[in-house]
């Protein structure tokens, strides 16, 4: 095992700056998957379970969503919510039982509600309620992506070390080129955030500035005329 005195952030930027690493790259058609931008995880002024890495995160996410929609491609939003009994949280919901615990994000609650700042087009965007970390797990996402014939998955949301990472690993496992706009994901702690960005970039995805993702979308829109 390599040991170091460098921070996770320093290691990430070293890895990101390695020009010799071959990217997976973009394909021909993308889906935007926004993982759990709900109040329990975004409203730092209301809930101690919330977190923020970049204060403009949701602004960037909304811009990406507009760009993806303009191309006629799918936009997906997920959130977690559970029954009053919490039985649908399974073993994941057994470690703690406080008002802030995962399994106590109940259907119809404020914690389960999407952040008011996200711009969801309810006439065309797809919304999934999930119970486990990955958006792929026990939702219709896999068949949706087959229907749309996408080859590229853009993932935003939180947390970087949890539900984002799980979704990214599943995306690669399903055979998709996977893109993580670095300003569009967040975590509770800087160390977890950057360590997982590093790991995803090395193994499972292309982590890049959101400006590069937006530029790709703009280029595809220009090509369509």
Structural domains in the chain plus CATH codes: 8-16+25-224 (3.40.50.850)
The answer to whether 100 touches 47, Cβ cutoff 8 Å, is yes
Q: In a 3-state reduction of DSSP, which class is residue 60?
A: helix
Sequence-distant (6+) residues with CB within 8 A of 127 are 76, 77, 78, 79, 120
Residue 163 is among the residues annotated as catalytic for this protein: yes
The answer to whether 164 touches 195, Cβ cutoff 8 Å, is no
**Per-position pLDDT tens, the chain of length 225:** 989 999 999 999 999 998 888 899 999 999 999 999 999 999 999 999 999 999 999 999 999 999 999 999 999 999 999 999 999 999 999 999 999 999 999 999 999 999 999 999 999 999 999 999 999 999 999 999 999 999 999 999 999 999 999 999 999 999 999 999 999 999 999 999 999 999 999 999 999 999 999 999 999 999 987
Catalytic residue, chosen from 163, 186, 207, 213, is: 163
From residue 127, alpha-carbon distances to 32, 71, 114, 144, 215 in Å are 12, 19, 10, 12, 26
């Amino acid at each position: 095992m390599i040991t170091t005195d460098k921070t996770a952030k320093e290691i990430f930027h070293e890895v990101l700056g390695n020009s010799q690493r071959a990217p997976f790259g973009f394909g021909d058609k993308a889906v935007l998957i926004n993982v759990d931008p709900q109040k329990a995880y975004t409203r730092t002024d209301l809930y101690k379970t919330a977190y923020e890495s970049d204060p403009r995160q949701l602004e960037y996410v909304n811009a990406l969503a507009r760009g993806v929609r303009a191309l006629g491609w799918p936009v997906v939003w997920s959130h977690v919510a559970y029954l009053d009994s919490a039985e649908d949280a399974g073993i994941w919901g057994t470690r703690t039982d406080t008002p802030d615990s995962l399994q106590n994000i109940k259907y119809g609650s404020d914690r389960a509600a999407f952040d008011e700042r996200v711009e969801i087009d309810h006439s065309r965007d797809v919304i999934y309620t999930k119970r486990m970390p990955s958006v792929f797990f026990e939702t219709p996402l896999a068949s949706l992506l087959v229907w749309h014939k996408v080859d590229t998955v853009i993932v935003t949301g939180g947390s970087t070390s949890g539900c984002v990472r799980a979704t990214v690993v599943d995306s690669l496992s399903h055979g998709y080129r996977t893109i993580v706009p670095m300003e569009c994901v967040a975590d509770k702690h800087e160390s977890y955030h950057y360590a997982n960005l590093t790991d995803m970039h090395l193994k499972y995805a292309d982590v890049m500035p959101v400006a590069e993702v937006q530029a790709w979308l703009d280029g595809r829109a220009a090509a369509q005329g």
